[in-house]
Structure 1
Amino acid sequence: MWHGIAQQLSQVLAFEFVIQERESLQGGDCNQCYMISDGQQRYFVKINDREYLPKFESEIDNLSSLLQTSTLSVPQPVTCGVVKDHAFLILNYLPTKPLTAPTEQYHLGQQLAHLHLWGEQKEYGYDADTYVGLNLQPNAWHKKWGIFFSECRIGWQLQLLKEKGIEFGDIEEIVTLVKQRIGTHNPKPSLLHGNLSDNNYALSVNGAICYDPSSYWGDPECDLAIIEEFSNLGSEFFAGYEDTLSIEDGYDKRRELYQLYYLLCRCNQYGGEYLTQCISKIQLIQQDLI
């Protein structure tokens, strides 16, 4: 396998890359991760089953889109492909450590706000479907945020869970309630990172860096909601964000809806405690407490 990966990397680099060092790394929950080196250049490699290739292709597309904004720092994608029974993704390699310093958190908040201010898009969605972990995100373009989020996010995940035998109630009723709670909120579409949980950002020699995006054009509050639910970023991060871009009134209510989506994604992938959290959140929506 590794010889085949080196051959394909060599074709992209236009010189022969011979792996002299390979180190297993702590990665996400889905992939095997490695650092490879020829003694001079180092690269980060993700390995998974062959059918995982579309997810790696989507990741390259998302990283490329974020790089075009020159706002949020993300890894440079190199290539992806298949070797026998495995799919692989190669990115540039940067040593990282936890992002704990208040100053660096503040700067990351500023970067994310600049991402949310970047570009002009009139509709919500993306040119291709994307992924949150193993969960497909359908991104058909919509003009109304409430319709897009309630149907393409909440409704979609509820249907996937139902197909696994997990039901939280009538899907159409829950989708309608979410749509009502969002109401007339129709923010300017922003390009989102889409999955800024605590294992998807770190500190590199060049400052904060983010990875594993699930990008699409949506409400910037979705990025903030997952950060509050699944990260250790604190007040300094939000100070940096709000010094650059104000958070709209009503976010405290919408945040609960947006967090429900990410809880449903995790419930779909892991089950366990996320099932209980989803039940609690949906009951609050049904009782008009969100």
Structure 2
Amino acid sequence: MAANVALLSASSPSTSASSILRRRPRPRRSACPRRAASRLSVVAAMSDDPIKEWILTEGKATQITGTSSIGGGCINAAQRYDTDAGSFFVKTNRRIGPAMFEGEALGLKAMYDTKSIRVPLPYKVGSLPTGGSFIIMEYIQFGRSRGDQVTLSRNPFRSKKKSALGRKLAEMHKAAKSDKGYGFYVENTIGSTPQINTWTADWIEFYSKHRLGYQLKLISQRFGDSAIYEKGQQLIEKMHPLFDGAVIEPCLLHGDLWSGNISADTNGDPVILDPACYCM
């Protein structure tokens, strides 16, 4: 995982809050005990909150002017942090460790590097002192017409926006061809469900084993539905003749592209969020 985390342009997710504090110079002794005690209490408070610590050090802010809750869905909580250096978008999960957000950050950075469709740039992933994890990323102000990207309508303005989304996605796919086959650098999650991304040379093998096969396995384990499992296996066995002769070139996909993960910025340009990236 360490090698893959280097994809992030900001501080590595594996960098702990304690290691950041260790790199900071020791404060000089003050002639005023109260002032020295005040500084120590600020440092202690920062060490208890790695989100504020990153924002006030590597985030280049000198003060946080406000925070506000943003709907984060049924899995994560989300907040906007306003500072004198701009705003940051922060997601937290009090039950799940940083691996889930590390996978999201790597996917966001991979899409961001294509310089095609707009995605929020991830800055930092880490663990919360009380358990769970967080991810800090670029805050993008959405326009009023978030649903216009996918809403079926005869309105030509909305049709133009859907066309822009399609073109930008095509640009991303063309810009991020995979020379490693089908899969991704790390396992990630689609929602809260694990997604297996082991690199595989053959498309049908990857899809039948790590997508259909894995989902069928989860269904069987959770619900004991042998009928669905058997029908799924029959479909997997027929995939080779169904795609015989098809030429499929692996490229980067968002992996969880539905209306809830599509928006538009204040300029009306499409934005995609919350990926479960892999190459296929």
TM-score, normalised to structure 1, is: 0.69
Question: For residue 13 of structure 2, what is the aligned residue in structure 1?
Answer: none
- Letter matched to residue 108 of structure 2: L
Structure 2 matches for 1:126-205, cutoff 5 A? Answer: 126-167=184-225, 168-170=228-230, 172-205=233-266
CA distance in structure 2 between the partners assigned to 1:186 and 1:29 by the alignment: 38
Q: Is the 8 A contact 1:146 1:185 kept in 2?
A: no
The answer to whether residue 133 in structure 2 is matched with residue 87 in structure 1 is: yes
Quote how far apart the aligned CAs of 1:103 are. 1.9
User: What is the CA–CA distance in structure 2 between the aligned matches of 1:59 and 1:129, rounded to whole Å?
Assistant: 10
The C-alpha deviation readout for 1:108-127, integer Å capped at 9, x for no partner, is 11001111212442421122
Runs (5+) with no aligned partner, structure 1: 219-290
Q: Is the 8 A contact 2:61 2:85 kept in 1?
A: no
User: How far did residue 145 of structure 1 move?
Assistant: 1.1
Matched, 1:110 2:159: no
Give 1:14 shift: 4.6
What RMSD over aligned residues (CA atoms) do the two structures have, in Å?
2.1
Q: Percent identity?
A: 24
Gaps of 5+ in 2: 1-44, 149-157
Question: Equivalent of 2:58, from 12, 22, 31?
Answer: 12
Equivalent residue letter for 1:91: M
Higher helix share: 1
Cross-structure match for 2:81: 36
Tell me the distance in 1 between the aligned counterparts of 2:247 and 2:195: 20
Between the aligned partners of 1:178 and 1:136, the Cα distance in structure 2 is 23
Normalising by the residue count of structure 2, what TM-score does the alignment of the two structures yield? 0.71
Alpha-carbon offset, residue 54 of structure 1:
0.7
2-structure distance, mates of 1:189, 1:118: 11
Provide the rounded CA distance (Å) in 1 between the counterparts of 2:113 and 2:195: 22
Residue 187 of structure 1 deviates from its aligned partner by 0.7
Q: Distance in 2 between matches of 1:5 and 1:156?
A: 35
- Structure 2 CA distance for aligned equivalents of residues 165 and 33 of structure 1: 32
Greater CA radius of gyration, 1 or 2? 2
1:4/1:148 CA distance change after superposition, 3 Å = closer
CA deviations on 1:244-279 (whole Å, 9 max, x unpaired) are xxxxxxxxxxxxxxxxxxxxxxxxxxxxxxxxxxxx
State the distance in 2 between where 1:80 and 1:182 align. 40
Kept after mapping to 1: 8 A contact 2:72/2:78: yes
- Paired letter, 2:186: A
2:102 aligned residue = 57
User: Contact 1:48–1:87 at 8 Å: present in 2 too?
Assistant: yes
- Displaced runs of 4 or more, over 6 A: none
